[in-house]
Every structure is written in structure tokens, then in C-alpha cells.
Structure 1
């Protein structure tokens, strides 16, 4: 059972829960004093440089990126005045690992990454060695640290590390010795009690928590602090498996109470010195509490198309047609503009749900204990010679080595499972894409629309349901029919993991504080510098070129994952895919608006050659005070409207692709994550907020006067006008920004801001 408290909570001695207002607080401690006793507060205080805990300016202990983000980050930092990496910066190669499409482009990125590590003093992990988060757990995470990563699943809380996934712009700031700025976040306790029952794995606990909190926004942009006596029943892999999925709650970060299990795990990895005992204070105040009795959680399945769309497997099997029909109806809304028809009821065979594919992979699924348990469940079984297949991706070479040494790789391969190397591909559509109409069950992190690699615009549709490795193996052992691991007998004991980092000693380049600045970066033909980005003008005309009224818009829908990863180092090439799965007409419409701005940038008036635009400007000049508005001093850009954009990945390209196509702003009811809003601002785009009915439609022009002054002065809103035959005024919210964020938007983007401020 999972309970969400409706008020703040005091935790006494780490055990006793006292809801706010329902009893006397020991020592008469004030809320503000007790708030400082969270583990999270103490870590943030240690890393804050502002002297004001309400307005944080954080510096991190280490950073990490993978090979679809690090090229753009290094290029941005170089253009902004990068001298050397001032902190340990790990460059992993776990997303474009296969280099399977695009000719030399992926390996060109890898070569660039190694040359950057040599030149600037970084740590380079070659392809196939480890997925990004496993390497960071194995080699970098430790008690009381903060780590920043350009991947949304940057979570190492179980080690006592507060880790945050952000867009590349925030990593650039750290490389330039700047800070990560935000208001001090609220902290919500996740109180774990009880012990998981037979067949229940970390993914099951995680999905149950996500289901309880996501729709309510209970932990959005907050820190989840794991406490409670139930933690003692969990192994390190189990904790990590829950922790990495906290990203899907939309929380900012996570942190856990640490104990001897953590110390022993660090000892196994040769890093016992990085252990720090972390516990909440004697009297600690939390802004909320998620109370989880793990003994009540059953094996779960998250149906398409979100991890929060979760059910107990037994519940689904008992109500198969009703639940699948509802999921089918909800899913079809996502594809109403495409020619495909989303079907799940077709998967019912003889009253049971028939699965087509299983995958155990990545930072969530590919851990040692998950793979060992799957092998135990499947031992002596056969996958059969039908449609069902199973792929297993150990999360690092050290994990793979130990699994091989102990015979589990052979056991899995004998069943017909395919063993692969450390690779994140199945999590974002670059590996194991199912056949058309296929349903895949995966112990990975996400099951968003088309995240598995299908292309509805080309008539393709397949989908993913998330499950724990245990129930995936149970399903595989049952001929592909959905099966809860709770109903399968298997040996639960796990032999101790033996970590051997010799492969890292042999292959990983560790150049931290050994920079060789005279060395050159190694470029390939698709590694392109960022184009020039114009600064914000005092007034702006913006055209709505995409109007998305879905409840939530993911970053995968803003810029698709999968094979587009090939073009991550080419800003203009990648931009061609922007909104391609949601609104294929977007790119062409955005380019038309960009052409008007490019004409203006040349000192030529676009009204002279575009009659429709001249009519728009004539309408602007009917507004009192703007009768003589000079078009050459008025910025022209495009904008995207979406109700709640930015759920999911931290990838900054969701914003930068709009920007290089001439995008100036987003308008939203709210932003799904802090990181997407930060990405917009770092690329000079204004994250407007609009409450209530939208007064404009797709294709309308808006005039936003005095916008530069409003941004720089920190005004909460601005008057805008919808332009048709007349100008209709309405209010656009701007939202709170730091002083630097206001200056970045005014400059046009982070690169421009740093060029100016750093000379």
C-alpha cells in the first residue's frame, strides 16, 4: 500500500512519523530549523556558493555525458571560452554505441570525445564498456556528493549522491566555472517499510511509486529522500533499480539514507573511502511523504505509453479486455493524425496476453542481480522457435565478466536469449525495435510513444510495456504469455558480486588534471559549429507554427530519439527531425518564418517581398503607440504552443532544434520539467505561460511589445496581441527567472551571453 500525506511531515529519529499539526514537535523545533535536518538540505548547503539557501548557486563534484550530448556541450563550451575541464567530466559512449547507421558519423563523434578528453582533461569510456549511469555508480558516486549529468536518469541517490539530469547548457556553465542556479527545492520523504515478497523486483516498487505520484505532480521538481526501516531489506542493486526510476516521477533529484550495505558495495568496488553515513536529523521536517509498504507491492506492468500507466500483472490478467480496451482508446488519440491504428486487444490469445519480445537492459534492467535472477528463472527452459525473443544487455563489462565467470551468460544463451554488450539503445529506439504491431516488455526506463523505434508517419506502430526482469523471465519461460514472477518458483539467493575493474584500467582514458591543451580536437564531417543566434530585440513578432493540445508532450515528440542520434553533432541536420512524429509540417513552416528574420538581419525589410507579412505589420501599426514601428528593429521568430511540454529526456536538442530553425518561444500552461524550461532559456527562448483558453490558433501571428525590457526587469507578465484583421490583447506570463537567465535570453543564447561576459 502506498499512502501520500496531504501535509508536511516530521520524522522523529528516522522512524516515527508525525504529520504536521497533529502533535507536539520534540524540543519545540521550528519547521524551518527541522527542514535543515534533511539529508538533501545538508548536501545542497555544502555545495551552495551563494550564501543564501533560498537562492542556490551550486557547484558539482563531477559531471557525465554520453555520446549524443557531449559533442554539443563541448562545442558550446568551446565557443563560450572553455579553457579546460575544471572538474571530473566523464564522457561515455553508450547511446551511439553501435555506429550502425550514418556511415562514419557515430565513430567520428567517439573520436571527437576522446580528443576532447585528452585536450581538456576528461575521462573517456569507450563504446560497449558501460552504460553511463552504471559507470558513474561503479567509479564516481559517493556519500555527500553532487553529480550533474546530461541525461535525465542521472540518479545515484542510493550511494548518498544527489544527482541531477539536465540539458547541456547547465553542464556548459559548470565547465565555465559558473553555477547551477535555482530556488531551494522542497524535499519529500519516501518512507520504505516492509520487505518485498517473492517475485517482486525493484522495477515493481518503482512503478508502484510512479503510479501513485506522477499524475498528482506530488514530487514534481522536488527531491525524493528515501528513509525508513525497509531500506535495510534491500540490496544495493535493488536500491539502484528503484532510484533510477525516480526520474519518471518528474522529481528534481533523489537521495537515500546510507548504511553498511552501501559501505560494503563501495568496498567491493575499491572505494570504501567514498562511504559517508547519511541519516536525517533527530527531528526532520519534510514537505510531504510517500509511505510505501513494500510487502504489499505485487509484480507490476506499465502499459503504453507512460510508466505511470501501471497495473498489477494479476489485476491486468483478471481484467484483460477492459484494461486493454481503455489503453487502446487512450493510445489511439496519440496517433489520430497518422495512418496507423494502435491495437492491443489483438494480443489476447486464448484469454491470455501474448507478448512478442522481452528486453532486459540499461541502467535500470542490466544490473547484475536482475540478470542473475532472470537466468535462474529461465534455467533449463526454452524460449521456443516462435515470435517471442529475449535480449539481455549487462550494464557494464565488469558486470558481463562476472556473469560470464559464474555461468549465467551460458545459461541464458542456452535458452535462446541473445546476450549483448552495454548499450542504452533499447531505451530510446536504437536497438531491438519490435516488428510492426509488436508488443515488447522491457526492464528499461521508459515506454513513451515510438520510444521503441517505430514510425507512425510511415505506417509503423509497435509499443512497450515496462516490467521487472523477474516477470519478464517468467513470461519468457511461459511461452511469451504474460506471467507474474510471483507465481514462479525459483532460487532467490544471489551469489556475491565480484567487481573487476581491470577492463577499465585497460580501456578507459583518465585524463582528469592531465589536460594537453596543445592537442587538437578531432572533427568529422558532421560535427558542425553552432550557427549564429540573434539577440532578443525590444519588440517581437512571433508566428505560431505548431499547436499541440495533448495533455503532455514528451521530449521524444519534440525531437525524436533513435536513428536521429546520428545527427546529434550537426545542429541544422538534426533540426530537420524536429516534431517530425507529432507535426511533420513544423520544419517547413518554421523555416518560412526564419527566412523573414534572416532578411531582416541583412538590413532588408521583409515587408517589401512578403505581402502576407506586410499585412501583419500593418495590423501591428494599428496598436496605439506603435504606429511607426520599425520592422528592422523588431525581432521575427516562430513559437510552439503545447499544454505541458518537456516530459522525459534531458536532451537540450528539444529546445536547440527549435532555436536554430528560428524559434523564439514556447507557450504552455505549465512545463513538465525544470530541465526543459532551463533548456529553453539557455537557448534564448522565452518560456511563456498562459492560463485559461488560448486566444490564438495555429498559424496566427503574435506581437509582443517591450519584451526585452520585461525580461531584463523580471516582470511577471507582458501584454501580447493576436494579429488578424485587428489586434487583440491578452496577458502572457513569463515566470520566475534568475538574473543570469534573463541576461541569457536577452543575449539570444548561452553562447552569446558567455562571449559577452567572458570576452
Structure 2
């Protein structure tokens, strides 16, 4: 039963965790993150969706046992949010088609969508870049934006933040989140902790503010929005004890790259990470958010920082109610206590004083390289030279992404370095494409207030937009003469960005690789113009009088950064920009269709009625997979970028050819066209850097068997479909790492793939596959099994599938010999088994709505 407390003279109710202790649950020493889940289950206990079994599983911290809870809010960005809302709109169509009220399809819990992924860096290095990029963004995406604006009016519980207001995770950190929220529960105004799920893997950034939140597949988020609980297995919690102080010259970016490398090696996949220790108080909320943001890169489900004084102070500084958070969290004993002993699954100790400046790359975020060793790693004896650049040139330098632009320490640091560099007469190299896309207009405000913005602009770092830009793959083209130089002379050129993702082919397909670095180092590399520089011993450049200037001469000290910090965290700035739901003239002038059911335009190449609900009345029967072919044979670390690219659509790709046949000249990106299943189907696995081991060339190609013809993955899949041949994919470790991209699972399903066989799966993509009815199966290393890719595949045991069941798998070679092995069906709990049996989570949820409507 709820209890009440007085807050500022008014009665508020809450569900006291102490009552559970009185009922015999030993929760006092449990991790803070687990306590927040316990409160959620306790408050939502109804004997139907949330049961005593769920409470017993989480309150006793029974690791591995399935339980259900109810998230308090769903967070979306437009790349993942558009397909989710397209699905909801399609559900309304289906409900109307069968004679029911389409308005039964509505978000049950609050949802926020921030439009941040669509802006591209077409214009850079000028004062007009921001306005021109915004206009171009609306020209490209008008159909999508009209749909989103319709959705905002048609659905309850949906708020949309228009373009130009910032990156979803920074907007969530600075404005949307409350930490402790209030709403009516069983007739009482009740306070409780926020628990957020998001359709972007970096939703974990909010863990830095004391909010439990993480990324899930868009499909799971869809079910939660429509009132379904979120099902998961009780996680292990790894405690990360922080000691020592960050040294002079080391940035929060260096800290997060160190933690990413360390925890990836520790294998925290599917686990919670919770930070504690004597140095926790030394990290500001933006520092914590920087670390928490990168949780997907080290594999953790969440990277939680408990509520403490820093949390409360940040809320007050950003014009929110910190007092309620302090009072409630102390009442519930979820306010951090350094002296309290907490039980963790395991503890990792990190001494912050031992961390050095570093970068990560050139292909993965966990490939950390010490700054002092980068030259040794990248040096080449015989550099190929072009007309404008040579091997190891840095041709792209971007201050981008929520990870770092949310942190005033590194943004102010970049401004200070720029100021010192300009004052000494340094400039960036003419062949470097420079850009700055802050995660929030607040960053622009404090850079103006401090007088640092003009110095960044003097080095070409003009603001190009308030969105993800380069980090999501929207870097835009390189200057034409640089592109031609790279192509004509096979130059190995690099990018340096302050982002959180640098997977192959993501940033720009012409780059040999991309390094992640702090915004301060991004500016430094733009000045140096090459990746193979020893900043410790070589000058970054020369002043107009020929005197060498070293990085240490212009590097910002912590003391210098602190002198500007009070300007950056000024509540007045946040008040000034408080109305984040107010659109600009371009947004406000959009003409939108009216009505509860969306009017689909058959000519639209952005928003199309998806095929998921064509036969919702028919249930699929689980069958063993017999006489299947291997569509792709893949190695380790295949990312969702490989499976479903986010970057530019090339004219000669299957998606490009399809669009050109329709008369489209502005092909745009795969990310922008996620509301059109025809484009996404043709884009499946068509990443220019994909290495399918069935063929000798990179890109989205495969071999059709038994005729051995090489063709695009799309063409092969369609031919197999016409032949009635089921398909499987065989891969190595960490299959599906990267963004929480539902289309990576949707396209797998549309291509006719029944199962993915891999050594291991990344958390979100595994659950997305399940949500689409595709079975993830863990097998031993296919290379040691002797698989070549031309085998016929039989998988037995699916027709009577159970969670984590051992399956029998046969690979039959052309001469009839068999390779027989075992695999574990990664259907991890009964809820997931239900989704697979129902043919996917979308049909399951729609059937439940229709059944409820029939009963009522």
C-alpha cells in the first residue's frame, strides 16, 4: 500500500521499499539500480501484467530469472521513431479495416520523440552553414516531417521536439528528464523514479543523471508504448569503484575511452554496471553522462550513477526541481551513501589518476590508442601522394554527438585551444572538412557568452546544425577535389570525430578509418592535418614568423576551463531556451493530413504502409528449418550498420536503382528512408565495407547456390524466395553490435532469413531478431567446424521450442557428407517464446488489442 509524505505543503504518495524489508525481502544491501526496479515492480503489482513472481524475482535479486516491469517513459529519435510510428499508424489502418475503432491504438505511457538524426553537413565552414543545412534538411525530409507532425496530433501521450533543438540524449538530459516524476496511481498523486527505455542504444546517457534507462529495439518499445510490460532477465550488476583524481591534460573523453576498453574486456554484456567509490563525487553530471553514454560500446545494458548531491545540483542549475529528487530518494534510501556497503556480482576498480590522453579507432570504439603511441601505430614507410593530400591525411574533423557535446569541460576546452591557436596565427589545413554540431542550443549560447565561438569559427568550426550529423553517418560529402584525389590515387585518409561510433563505412565510405577523440583533439588534428603526428615531440604547426608551436603550448588547463564553467551552467540560459517543443517557421508552416487514420500516399518514397499486418488473423506455426541455404557467411563484429546501413544511398545500389526508377534524384540516406520498407529491404546488408566470405569483393553481394552466381544480397534473397528456399545467416562473435536499430532485424525477416547462427549476439539486436520472429542461435566457431557456406542447412528442435533449448544442426555438403553440431536457441524467456510463436511482437500486440476490444 502507498504511504504519504508532505512536499512543499502538499500530500504526495509513494510505495515505500521499507515495507518489502518488513515482508522478509533483504533489499538493504542491493545495488541502487536494482532497488529502482524493485520499486517499479512493487508499485505496478496487479496480479495480471505484474505478478508476485516478478516481485520475488527482482526483490530477491535472482540473477537470470525472468521478470516484468513497466517503464515510465519511452524516448525516441526520428530515425528509429519514424518506423515505430509508421507501425502504429498501420495498426490503426488494420483495426479500421476490420471494423473497430482505430483510436484504440495509442501510446499508453508518455513518449518523447526528438528529431535530431536527419540534418546533414552539406554546408560547412561558413556563417550560413546552419541555416542552409536546416533548409536542405526540410527539403529532403518534408514527407517524414509531415507524418511526424500528423502523429503528434493524432496520438495521445506523444510529444515531439522539432528539428534544430538538439540531440535526443542531450535534450533528455537537459530538459525532458525529471529523475523523480509524479502522476496518479490508483487515484493518488504518487512520486516514483523514472525508468526510461529508448529506441536508441545511447539512451544509457541518462544513467549519468541517476535515472535508470537503456536502449531497446524499436519493436520492444512499440509493445511497451501500447501497454505491454517490458520483460527481461534479472541482471548481474558489476560495481565499478572509482578512485584517484583525473590528471592535468586528461579529458572526460579520455576517461570514457579507457573505461570502454576495460569493461569491454571484462565482458559486461547483458549486465548492469553501477559506479561508486570515493571519486564518484569528483565527476560532474556531464562527466557521468559522457561515461554512461558509451555503455553500448562496452556492452553493458546500463551504466548507472546513483542519485547524489551532484544530481540534485545539476537539476537546479538546469532549471528543474532538485528538492523533490533529494527528499524522495532519501526517503527511499536510493540516495548515494559512500559508507553504505552494497553487494555487487563483481567489482572492478578504476584509478582515474592512471588514465592518459587517447583516441579510439580506426574501426571500433573499444580500440583505444594512447595519444603518445598513435604515430607508431599509423606510420607508413612509403606514403602514396595525391594532388592535394597523401596517406594518413585527416580530411574530416567533426565536433559531433551527444557523448561529448553535452560536456562543457571538453566543449569549452575546444574553444580555449582554438583561441590560443588563432592568437598564435595557426589555421586548419585547407583540405580538412571541419564542422561543429552541438547537442543543444545551450552549447552555442555559452560559447557565445564566453567569447570562444569566434575562435572556433576562425578555424572552420562553424555550427552546422543541432543534431547528430557526422556521428550517425550524415557527414555529407567531402569536397569534390579531395574525393577525386582519394579515389584516383587510392589515398588512405582518416577522420577524427568526437562521436561514439566509428564502425566501418559509417562516417564516410571513402575514409580508411575514423578515430574517436575529445573535441579538443578534434580541433588539434584539424590544425595538424594528419593522423601520424607525435604531439608530444613534433610541432602542431608554425606561426607566421616560422616559430614552432606545440600542442602543449595551446592545450587548455583545468584551471582555464573552470574560469568559464560558471557561464556554461547558468540557469538563465536554460530558462531562455526552455520551450523546446516550439518549432521554427519551416516546421510551423508544414501542411499535414487530418484525421485519426493516416492518409498513405502511394507515390511517397519516404512513408509507406508496411507489410507486417497483412495476415494478423493467421498465427504462424513453428517448424524445423529444413533445406535452408546460407545467405551470408560473416566474421566477427558484424554491426547493425553492416546489416542496415544508415549512411548515403548510392545510385548503383539496389535501393538507389529502385528510387531512380521512380524518378527520384535526391536519394538521401537509408536512415531518412526508414519509413519505406521497399528501400530498406533493398538496403539490407548493402554496406560498402561488408565482408561476406562467400564472395571475394566487399559490399552487399553474395553467391546464390547451387548455381554459384554472384549477385546482390537483395537479388539472391528474392530468387531464393521465388524458389521456396528458407535462409539462414552464419556469423562470428558480437553479431549485431552497434545501434539499437529495429530495421536490422526487420530487413533480416523481409529477406526470408529464418535463423541467425552466430558465436555470440549483442543484446539489443538479439532481442530485435526475436521480436521479428527470427531465431538467434548460438553455435561454436563456424570456422573450426569447417563450414564453407555452400552447404544445405537443417535445424531440428524448433517445432517444440523452449527458452534456451539446445538445437541440433546439420550442414550438408555437396558430396552428401554432414557436419553435425549443437546450438542454443537464444530465446531467453517465455515472453520471447510467445513473440516467436506469434510470428513477431507486432502481430502479438495487435492481436491482444483486438481481443481486448472484442471482450469490452
Interval containing the TM-score (normalised by the shorter chain):
0.7 to 0.9
Equivalent residue number for residue 618 of structure 1: none
Equivalent residue number for residue 400 of structure 2: 361
Equivalent residue number for residue 472 of structure 1: 522
Equivalent residue number for residue 628 of structure 2: 543
Cα offset, 1:253, TM superposition: 0.6
Residue 374 in 1 paired to residue 414 in 2?
A: yes
For 1:450, which of 502, 505, 508 is the aligned residue?
Answer: 505
Equivalent residue number for residue 346 of structure 2: 288
Residue 421 and residue 589 in structure 1: after superposition, are their counterparts in 2 closer, same or farther (change >3 A)?
A: closer
Equivalent residue number for residue 297 of structure 1: 355
Equivalent residue number for residue 578 of structure 1: 684
Residue 38 in 1 paired to residue 154 in 2?
A: no
Equivalent residue number for residue 108 of structure 1: 143
**Bigger relative contact order, structure 1 or 2 (CA pairs below 8 A, ≥6 apart):** 1
Q: What is the correspondence of 1:156-235 to structure 2 with a 5 Å cutoff? A: 156-217=206-267, 219-235=268-284
SS in 2 for 1:553: coil
Residue 598 and residue 174 in structure 1: after superposition, are their counterparts in 2 closer, same or farther (change >3 A)?
A: farther
Q: What is the correspondence of 1:144-159 to structure 2 with a 5 Å cutoff? A: 144-155=193-204, 156-159=206-209
Between 1:382-391 and 1:645-654, the stretch displaced more is 382-391
- Once the two structures are superposed, residues 590-632 of structure 1 have per-residue CA deviations (whole angstroms, 9 ceiling, x without a partner) of 6555566567xxxxxx6xxxxxxxxxxxxxxxxxxxxxxxxxx
Structure 1 unaligned segments of length 5 or more: list them: 1-31, 330-342, 455-459, 510-515, 600-605, 607-635
Residue 640 and residue 407 in structure 1: after superposition, are their counterparts in 2 closer, same or farther (change >3 A)?
A: same
Residue 407 in 1 paired to residue 451 in 2?
A: yes
8 Å CA contact 2:684–2:713 kept in 1: the answer is no
Distance in 1, Cα, partners of 2:561 & 2:364? 29
Residue 242 in 1 paired to residue 242 in 2?
A: no
- Once the two structures are superposed, residues 629-651 of structure 1 have per-residue CA deviations (whole angstroms, 9 ceiling, x without a partner) of xxxxxxx5211111121111110
Equivalent residue number for residue 394 of structure 1: 438
Equivalent residue number for residue 775 of structure 2: 686
Equivalent residue number for residue 763 of structure 2: 674
Residue 540 and residue 550 in structure 1: after superposition, are their counterparts in 2 closer, same or farther (change >3 A)?
A: closer
SS in 2 for 1:565: coil
Cα offset, 1:370, TM superposition: 2.3
Cα offset, 1:375, TM superposition: 0.7
8 Å CA contact 2:630–2:792 kept in 1: the answer is no
SS in 2 for 1:68: helix
Q: What is the correspondence of 1:565-714 to structure 2 with a 5 Å cutoff? A: 565-581=671-687, 582=690, 583=692, 584-586=700-702, 588=712, 592=716, 594=718, 636-644=725-733, 645-671=735-761, 673-692=762-781, 693-694=784-785, 696-705=787-796, 707-709=798-800, 711=801, 713-714=802-803
Distance in 1, Cα, partners of 2:553 & 2:272? 35
Residue 269 and residue 701 in structure 1: after superposition, are their counterparts in 2 closer, same or farther (change >3 A)?
A: same
Distance in 1, Cα, partners of 2:713 & 2:528? 51
Distance in 2, Cα, partners of 1:351 & 1:575? 38
Number of residues of Structure 1 aligned to a counterpart in Structure 2: 658
Equivalent residue number for residue 123 of structure 1: 159
8 Å CA contact 1:112–1:522 kept in 2: the answer is no
- Once the two structures are superposed, residues 317-341 of structure 1 have per-residue CA deviations (whole angstroms, 9 ceiling, x without a partner) of 4xx1xx236xx99xxxxxxxxxxxx
Equivalent residue number for residue 187 of structure 2: none
Cα offset, 1:548, TM superposition: 3.4
Cα offset, 1:85, TM superposition: 1.8
Residue 100 and residue 725 in structure 1: after superposition, are their counterparts in 2 closer, same or farther (change >3 A)?
A: farther
Q: What is the correspondence of 1:327-342 to structure 2 with a 5 Å cutoff? A: none
Equivalent residue number for residue 565 of structure 2: 495
Cα offset, 1:248, TM superposition: 0.7
Between 1:713-722 and 1:263-272, the stretch displaced more is 713-722
- Once the two structures are superposed, residues 359-406 of structure 1 have per-residue CA deviations (whole angstroms, 9 ceiling, x without a partner) of 111201222332221111110514245323432111112332332233
Between 1:495-504 and 1:101-110, the stretch displaced more is 101-110
- Once the two structures are superposed, residues 558-613 of structure 1 have per-residue CA deviations (whole angstroms, 9 ceiling, x without a partner) of 111212113211112112111113242248556555566567xxxxxx6xxxxxxx
Q: Name the TM-score, length of structure 1 as normaliser.
A: 0.80
Cα offset, 1:486, TM superposition: 6.2
- Once the two structures are superposed, residues 257-298 of structure 1 have per-residue CA deviations (whole angstroms, 9 ceiling, x without a partner) of 333222121112221246345326822111222211112211
8 Å CA contact 1:474–1:483 kept in 2: the answer is no
Cα offset, 1:146, TM superposition: 1.3
For 1:527, which of 587, 594, 607 is the aligned residue?
Answer: 607
Equivalent residue number for residue 462 of structure 1: 512
Residue 87 and residue 486 in structure 1: after superposition, are their counterparts in 2 closer, same or farther (change >3 A)?
A: farther
Distance in 2, Cα, partners of 1:187 & 1:216? 13
8 Å CA contact 1:429–1:561 kept in 2: the answer is yes
Residue 136 and residue 102 in structure 1: after superposition, are their counterparts in 2 closer, same or farther (change >3 A)?
A: closer
Residue 254 in 1 paired to residue 303 in 2?
A: yes
Residue 669 and residue 657 in structure 1: after superposition, are their counterparts in 2 closer, same or farther (change >3 A)?
A: same
8 Å CA contact 2:495–2:511 kept in 1: the answer is no
Residue 462 and residue 489 in structure 1: after superposition, are their counterparts in 2 closer, same or farther (change >3 A)?
A: closer
Residue 253 and residue 261 in structure 1: after superposition, are their counterparts in 2 closer, same or farther (change >3 A)?
A: same
Distance in 1, Cα, partners of 2:151 & 2:263? 41
Residue 592 and residue 360 in structure 1: after superposition, are their counterparts in 2 closer, same or farther (change >3 A)?
A: closer
Residue 346 and residue 190 in structure 1: after superposition, are their counterparts in 2 closer, same or farther (change >3 A)?
A: farther
Cα offset, 1:117, TM superposition: 1.9
Residue 279 in 1 paired to residue 371 in 2?
A: no
SS in 2 for 1:107: helix
Residue 226 and residue 704 in structure 1: after superposition, are their counterparts in 2 closer, same or farther (change >3 A)?
A: same
8 Å CA contact 2:827–2:833 kept in 1: the answer is no
- Once the two structures are superposed, residues 48-86 of structure 1 have per-residue CA deviations (whole angstroms, 9 ceiling, x without a partner) of 333232422121111111111112112334445662222
Residue 243 and residue 737 in structure 1: after superposition, are their counterparts in 2 closer, same or farther (change >3 A)?
A: closer
Cα offset, 1:125, TM superposition: 0.9
Distance in 1, Cα, partners of 2:383 & 2:643? 25
Residue 689 and residue 385 in structure 1: after superposition, are their counterparts in 2 closer, same or farther (change >3 A)?
A: closer
SS in 2 for 1:657: helix
Residue 749 in 1 paired to residue 840 in 2?
A: yes
For 2:67, which of 43, 47, 56 is the aligned residue?
Answer: 56
Structure 2 unaligned segments of length 5 or more: list them: 1-24, 42-49, 59-64, 93-103, 121-133, 181-192, 330-334, 487-491, 537-550, 584-592, 648-668, 693-699, 703-710, 851-856
Distance in 1, Cα, partners of 2:686 & 2:28? 45
Equivalent residue number for residue 70 of structure 1: 81
RMSD of the TM alignment (CA)? Answer: 3.2
Q: Name the TM-score, length of structure 2 as normaliser.
A: 0.71
SS in 2 for 1:564: coil
8 Å CA contact 1:186–1:222 kept in 2: the answer is yes
8 Å CA contact 2:803–2:827 kept in 1: the answer is yes
Cα offset, 1:432, TM superposition: 4.9
Distance in 2, Cα, partners of 1:353 & 1:592? 38
SS in 2 for 1:257: coil
8 Å CA contact 2:629–2:792 kept in 1: the answer is yes
